[in-house]
Amino acid sequence: MFCIERQDPGGSWVKELCFKTEFKAFVSARTKSMATLRTYRIVNDSWNQVVAVVDVSKGRS
C-alpha cells in the first residue's frame, strides 16, 4: 500500500488516503498539491519509507 500524507503548517504529516499502486498515489498527491498548494508525500506503508515528495507551489515534484 502507498499512502499520501499532507504536511501541516506546523511541519507534522497527516495521513489522508492509501492506494494499491504508487502511480495512483502519486497522481492523487499531485492533484491535491495543485488544488491546495500544500506539500504532500507518498509513503510505502509496508516499509514505512518515503517514496516521493510533491510540492507544486514551489515547482517541484
In this predicted model, what pLDDT tens digit does every residue of 14-60 receive, in sequence order? Answer: 999 999 999 999 999 999 999 999 999 999 988 989 999 998 876 65
pTM for this entry: 0.86
Long-range contacts of 2-5 (CB under 8 A, 24+ apart): 2/42, 2/43, 2/44, 2/45, 2/51, 3/42, 3/43, 3/45, 4/28, 4/29, 4/32, 4/40, 4/41, 4/42, 4/43, 5/40, 5/41, 5/42, 5/43
